[in-house]
Structure 1
């Protein structure tokens, strides 16, 4: 093997290694972006990322003259639960609430944890009739959850 062939092989090896490193960096960057946009406890969009997405959806809705439904959710008696049973039980309630919301909505909808016990559920390009169908599913799940307590 001559010197030029060795240099070509070495160059190919270096380029393949570079591509591998770039793929790993892209994957790590994607994971970091995801983690930066999600509320660590409830695993729904955090306030900052959620409001940015909501703003984009509102602009889209205005430009395309489509409906958007935004619902406010407040978890009742969270302070009482925290005081009476401890913050761990309050956290469980918030996690369960977020899970019910996430599992009940459609793929096009999203949930934002605004902070504390407050959530927004956003239904882009949706009528009130369609949003009410989803709310019925949510209420049914909440009732079922309460029966298990």
Structure 2
């Protein structure tokens, strides 16, 4: 490919090559003048140059003749229309493109679909995660629990839950400050994580409360998991004196729905509190 000296002089070549999404420099005849680094990774025929539609769609005639005029932002830009395009293919794949004019004969075309998809995935992930502990947040763990109840019902599998509350956590915050309290929360979360399987789910339900979902697990085994968590936390040095937890365990029963299962695990946890804390109770 011949790279325009104008691109080099104005630093546009370096700029285009640094973009985190595929970008092409094209002339007014739709010839590919330059493909940036991300474009070279994305398009199989990037080395061959040629027409942009050959490179990006693998077809031998203009894409607007195949998919319609709305799919080409460069053509729309030349016709003084809004220089962006969005279209979907089968299987949910989509393309989002934007064009920009460099001068009378040179254009930039940006392919934002994979970049936007990555951002959407990241935003969805961040929307589900508690930033302090890295666990699911309350909304997401409630959604997972509802789904797991439905799945357990469908396949006849056991399902158990553990409701964990850090004992006297307000006292830790009042005595040592909220920054130290956050350190305790992170450390408790890490200790919980070490006792769980990859197939288990855990979320931060409230300030110092955690919900653990154990698919395909009978309550008896869930009690053993809760005891291991309790013992591990009791042994740990948090630098704030003794830190303990109270845990309530229950399993899916009879005609349970989310509400009845939650009420029972909540009651089990508060039973552990009433019996002196630093213990596991089951209902």
Same fold (TM over 0.5): yes
Which whole-Å deviations, capped at 9, do the CAs of 1:98-119 have from their partners, x for residues lacking one?
A: 1111221001111111111111
With over 3 angstroms needed to count, the CA separation of the structure-2 counterparts of 1:5 and 1:34, relative to structure 1, is closer
Superposition TM-score, scaled by structure 2 size:
0.46
**Among 32, 40, 45, which residue is 2:136 paired with?**
45
Of Structure 1 and Structure 2, the greater helix share is in 1
* CA–CA separation in structure 1 for the residues paired with 2:57 and 2:194: 44
Instruction: Say which of 156, 168, 178 aligns to 1:77.
Output: 168
In structure 1, the partner of 2:177 is 86
Q: Give the structure 2 partner of residue 110 of structure 1.
A: 201
SS at match of 2:203: strand
Q: Name the counterpart of 2:232.
A: 141
Higher relative contact order (CA 8 A, sep 6+): 1
The match for 2:51 is 9
Q: 1:30 to 1:5 in 2, by over 3 A?
A: closer
Alignment of 1:94-105 (within 5 A): 94-105=185-196
How well do the aligned residues superpose, as a CA RMSD in angstroms? 2.8
Aligned-partner Cα distance in 2 for 1:33–1:124:
23
SS in structure 2 of the partner of residue 41 of structure 1: coil
Say which SS state the counterpart of residue 126 (structure 1) adopts.
Answer: coil
Instruction: Indicate which of 119, 123, 130 corresponds to 1:28.
Output: 119
Structure 1 or 2, whichever has the larger Rg, is: 2
TM-score, normalised with respect to structure 1: 0.84
Structure 1 pair 32–147 and aligned structure 2 pair: CA distance change class (3 A): closer
Structure 1 unaligned segments of length 5 or more: list them: none
Q: Residue 146 of structure 1 aligns to a residue in which SS?
A: coil
Match of 2:72? none
Kindly indicate which of the two structures has a greater share of residues assigned to strand: 2
Moved over 6 A (4+): none
Is the 1:102–1:110 Cα contact (8 Å) retained in structure 2? Answer: no
Q: Distance in 1 between matches of 2:114 and 2:208?
A: 39
